[in-house]
Amino acid sequence: MPKVLLDNVSKLFLSDSGPLQVLSNVTLPIEEGEFLCVLGASGCGKSTLLNLVAGLEKPDHGRVLVGGKEVSGPGPDRVVMFQEAALFPWLTAVQNVAFGLKMAGVGRRERQERAMELLSLVKLSSFANSWIHELSGGMRQRVALAAALALDPEILLMDEPFAALDAQTRDQLHVEIESIWEQTGKTIIFVTHNVREAVRLGTRVLLMSPRSGGICREYPINLPRHRHLEDVELVKIASVLRDDLRDEMRGSGVADV
Amino acid sequence: MSERSIIQDRERVEALLRKRVRERRSELLRKSGARAAFFVLLILVWQGLAAAGLWSELLFPHPRQVLDSLVVTFGDGSMPLAMLASIRRLAIGYSLSLLIGIPLGLLLGRIKLLDNTLGTMALGLQALPSICWMPLAVLWFGLSEVSMQFVVVMGAVMAIILAVRDGVKNIPRLYIRASRVLGATGWKGYLYVILPASMPALLTGARLGWSFAWRALMAAELIYVGSGLGSTLMMGRELHDMPLVIATMIVIVVIGLLADRLLFGTLEKRLHRRWGVSGG
């Protein structure tokens, strides 16, 4: 049984210019321990897919199953990491990491310990008591990652988490998220519009397009791990994906990838 | 970078910091200097006009007379007593407004139905100057403390409700989504996310409510002659004691300013420091 199953899911949005079918009859199984990258231009429904699994949105038709059970709302087994670090400015870094544990009713000492562990995992121990506005963009995403891991979710949902970071910071975070995935075996769904990032991280890459109302192509990535963005093989695969993505865009009338 | 250059760098940074502090201090000095000079000038002009004798001393007293009036009324305890009476009323009425206004504002910001009904009413009543509640209050509660506090509450509570509601409505959607993902739902969401996230709005509401409450109370005290700064003001008019009128006005301004600057100014500064510039 797949860890996550989108079963014939449709989702419609009402915009000013009329109804917009972002997902139409999408069926997608995701296996446990998979690192699934979802690729597409903005407006193709990739964030919607993520929000459906997170339980932040409900499908208009079809079902979303996680571990065989239908999703009815957000849960601690599925934590989302947003593009813009979703950290609370009234809490320090360590308090932000511990927030989910506090909500789950974990005792003060235990959650403090756990939060400090996670902060050291993302190499931010010395910033535990900093306010959020004192941290750089990359540091904020690290704190957000630690906060997401605090609840020890089985599924990590990442919505373009590194899109706003500079290349170097992104490289570092790729290494970190990859090693966390290898060590914990979590199922990760990672949404991005960066083709090479998708190939760099994913065990499988999905291409989404608004024209087809969802997933149009799928690529298993069998490159050995600890890949680099500059690897020749990686770049080759990425260029194939990019061409396919362009074709899809052209077909849908959406220019510019 | 070699160790030596790091040390040099640190020295340079420290020198720069010292320079900044010096600059800021001198700027502050210049600002407060200009302010002091302005007020001295104002008093001199006042003194000059009074000395020129253009108007009767009964209508346009010397600064000296006002100062004397302040000294006398503080000396015989009548001014502190009036201040105490007003501040006590304000404390009760204002606390009540906060106790009613903040929870209501928090609810209105989240519950559409409540906003469409109660929110619309609050908006409408906000248009009513608070002193217009006085006749109704007198008929209901008589010429009593309760009437005054009623007027204060009615003057302040609408502004507080509306400011808090707007703050809650403007909480970034990201916080709400994140809180749902992390399990902060129901009362936990209110206590740990909505309440702290609307802190800046709460403070704005409290500050606004304070100034409305202060104005409402003074108006009410002018009508209801009993005790308090407003009635001292009225007494000054009836006794044709212009220095007392101006002295009381000065006291009213100073109390309002002190609360605004010291209390709310400090709280706001602290909040801004915590949240960074963007959050405040």
pLDDT in tens, B143-157: 888 999 999 999 999
Task: Answer with the residue of higher pLDDT: B175 or A41.
Answer: B175
- Which of B174, B181, B188 is opposite residue A74, by nearest beta carbon? B181
Best residue in A52, A80, A90 to probe B by mutation, most B CBs within 10 Å?
A: A90
At residue A219 the predicted structure's pLDDT band, cuts being 50, 70 and 90, is confident
- The answer to whether residue A250 scores a pLDDT higher than 80 is no
pLDDT value at position A255?
Answer: 45
Torsion of CA A79, A80, A86, A91, to 10 degrees: 0
Mutate to test the interface with A, among B173, B182, B187, B202 (most CBs of A within 10 A): B182
Q: How far apart are CA B259 and CA B83, in angstroms?
A: 14
Domain B63-275 falls in which CATH fold? MetI-like fold (1.10.3720)
Which candidate, A236, A85, A256, A230, places its Cα nearest to that of A167? A230
Six-digit token string for B184: 């902060």
Conformational region of residue B240, where left means phi above 0, alpha means psi within -120 to 50, and beta covers everything else: left
- Average pLDDT over every residue of A227-234: 86
| pLDDT score recorded for residue A54 | 92
pLDDT-derived band of residue B255, with 50, 70 and 90 as boundaries?
very high
Distance, in Å, from the CA atom of A109 to the CA atom of A114, rounded to the nearest integer, reads 9
Mean pLDDT of B241-268: 92
CB A244 within 8 A of CB A255: no
**Per-residue confidence (pLDDT) for residue A257, from 0 to 100:** 42
B199 shares contact with chain A (CB less than 8 Å): yes
Closest-approach residue (CA) in chain B for A100: B182
Instruction: Please name the residue that has the structure tokens 């908006």.
Output: B123
The larger pLDDT score, comparing residue B58 to residue B248, is at B248
CA distance, residue B269 to nearest chain A CA (Å): 14
Torsion of CA B136, B141, B142, B148, to 10 degrees: -80
When pLDDT is cut at 50, 70 and 90, the band that residue A252 belongs to is low
B197 and chain A in contact, CB less than 8 A: yes
What's the mean pLDDT when you consider all of chain B?
Answer: 89
Helix (H) or strand (E) segment spanning residue A19: strand A18-30
Neighbour-count burial of B221, counting CB atoms closer than 10 A to its CB (0-12 exposed, 13-18 middle, 19+ buried): buried
pLDDT interval class at B278 (50, 70, 90): very low
User: A11-15, A195-199, A205-209: which has the minimum mean pLDDT?
Assistant: A11-15
Mean pLDDT of B224-232: 86
- Any chain B CB within 8 A of the CB of A56? yes
| Strands A204-209, A35-39: pairing kind | parallel
What angle, 0 to 180 degrees and rounded to 10, lies between the N-to-C axes of helices A137-150 and A167-184?
10
Question: What pLDDT digit, counting tens, does each position of A103-129 carry?
Answer: 998 999 999 999 999 999 888 999 999
* Residue B220 and residue B134 in contact, taking contact as beta carbons nearer than 8 Å: yes
pLDDT of B2 over the 90 cut:
no
Q: To the nearest whole percent, how much of chain B has pLDDT over 70?
A: 95
DSSP labels, B41-52? HHHHHHHHHHHH
- pLDDT tens by residue, B127-147: 899 999 999 999 999 888 899
Average pLDDT over residues A7-12: 87
Residue A54 to residue B181, Cβ atoms within 8 A: yes
Q: Which of A159-168, A243-252, B6-15, B32-41 has the highest mean pLDDT?
A: B32-41
Please tell me if residue B275 touches chain A, with a CB cutoff of 8 Å.
yes
Question: Is A109 an 8 Å CB contact of chain B?
Answer: no
Interface A-B: count of C-beta contacts within 8 A: 66
